[in-house]
Amino acid sequence: MGPKQRRRPVFVFPAVAKRERTLLPESESAGVAIRTVGLTRRYRSGSGELTIFADMNFTVHCGERLALVGDSGTGKTTLLYLLGGLDHPTSGRIFYGQTEITALTGDALADFRNREIGFVWQNQSLLPEFTALENVMMPLLVRGEQPGTAAGQARARLADVGLADRETHRAGELSGGEQQRVALARALAGRPKVLFADEPTGNLDARTGARVVDLLEDLHRRMGLTSIYVTHNPEFAARADRVVRLAGGTLTDDTRGAHAGAAESGAGMPESGDTRTHV
Ligand X SMILES: Nc1ncnc2c1ncn2[C@@H]1O[C@H](COP(=O)(O)OP(=O)(O)O)[C@@H](O)[C@H]1O
Taking residues 33 to 72 in sequence order and writing x for each that binds Mg ion by CB under 5 A, - otherwise, the string is ----------------------------------------
Question: In this chain, which of 57, 77, 226, 231 binds Mg ion, going by CB under 5 A?
Answer: 77
- CB nearer to ligand X: give 29 or 74: 74
Give yes or no for a contact between 229 and 197, defined as CB atoms under 8 angstroms apart: yes
CB of 121 to Mg ion, least distance (A): 10
Residue 43 in the binding site for ligand X (CB under 6 A): yes
- CB nearer to ligand X: give 96 or 121: 121
CB of 122 to Mg ion, least distance (A): 7
- CB nearer to ligand X: give 75 or 89: 75
- CB nearer to ligand X: give 83 or 182: 83
Can you spell out the DSSP letters for the chain? Answer: -PPPPS--BS---HHHHT---SB--HHHHTTEEEEEEEEEEEEEETTEEEEEEEEEEEEEETT-EEEEE--TTSSHHHHHHHHTTSS--SEEEEEETTEEGGG--HHHHHHHHHHHEEEE-SS--S-TTSBHHHHHHHHHHHTT--HHHHHHHHHHHHHHTT-GGGTTSBGGGS-HHHHHHHHHHHHHTT--SEEEEESTTTTS-HHHHHHHHHHHHHHHHHTT-EEEEE-S-HHHHHTSSEEEEEETTEEEE-TTSHHHHHHHT-TTPPPTT---S--
Residue 180 in the binding site for Mg ion (CB under 5 A): no
Residue 45 in the binding site for ligand X (CB under 6 A): yes
Residue 77 in the binding site for ligand X (CB under 6 A): yes
- CB nearer to ligand X: give 155 or 232: 232
Give yes or no for a contact between 51 and 39, defined as CB atoms under 8 angstroms apart: no
- CB nearer to ligand X: give 74 or 135: 74
Q: Which residue is nearest to Mg ion (CB)?
A: 77
Residue 42 one-letter amino acid? R
Site for ligand X in 159-218 (CB under 6 A): none
Question: In this chain, which of 78, 91, 125, 203 binds ligand X, going by CB under 6 A?
Answer: 78
Residue 75 in the binding site for ligand X (CB under 6 A): yes
Taking residues 188 to 217 in sequence order and writing x for each that binds Mg ion by CB under 5 A, - otherwise, the string is ------------------------------
Q: How far apart are CA 167 and CA 114, in angstroms?
A: 22
Q: Contact residues for Mg ion (CB under 5 A)? A: 76-77
Using CB under 6 A, list all residues that contact ligand X: 43, 45, 50, 52, 70, 72-78
